[in-house]
Structure 1
Amino acid sequence: MIRPSVLLFALLISAPAWYRLLFDQLDFVQVLIRFLIAVPIAALLLAALRFIMAGYRKDPEATPVTPEPTDPAPPSP
């Protein structure tokens, strides 16, 4: 099933065609074809974005790590 975000993004991509439809510069069939072409493109772009953003999610099972200094402390005078 297609996500609503994909359809909304495809509508945003094809917005110039919908705008030209209002002024009778394009036929309705051409606008629908442009929208149908925009749907898989939007799905691929949003899937890539989801894949990239998945790497930044926090892992709830990860153990917290406390940083420790690697250099020894200088001797106090």
Structure 2
Amino acid sequence: MIKPSVLLFALLMSAPAFYRLLGDEIDLIQVLIRFLVAVPIAAVLMAGLRFILAGYRKAEEEPPATVMTPEPYDSPEPGKST
């Protein structure tokens, strides 16, 4: 499914064609073709942007693993036997 952000970006990329349509410089078919060409290009560019920005997202905090508590070790004093 195409995301709305991709369609908006494709619309922005093909905005000059829509502007030229208002001045009757090009046909509606050419404008629609330019928009349809802009959609996959916008999808690739937005996917690349999402891939780059994914590394900067805040990682979800994981629950701490089992906590090890230190226990005292009774070592014999040097020179004394047990």
| TM-score, normalised relative to structure 1 | 0.78
Residue of structure 2 equivalent to 1:15: 15
Question: 2-side partners of 1:59 and 1:2: how far apart?
Answer: 26
- Structure (1 or 2) with the larger CA radius of gyration: 2
Residue of structure 1 equivalent to 2:32: 32
Q: Give aligned pairs, total.
A: 63
Cα RMSD for the two superposed structures: 1.3
Could you tell me which runs of 5 or more consecutive residues in structure 1 were left unpaired when the two chains were aligned: 64-77
Amino acid at match of 2:27: D
Stretches of 4+ moved more than 3 A in 1?
none
Amino acid at match of 1:13: M
The SS at the match of 1:53 is: helix
| TM-score, normalised relative to structure 2 | 0.73
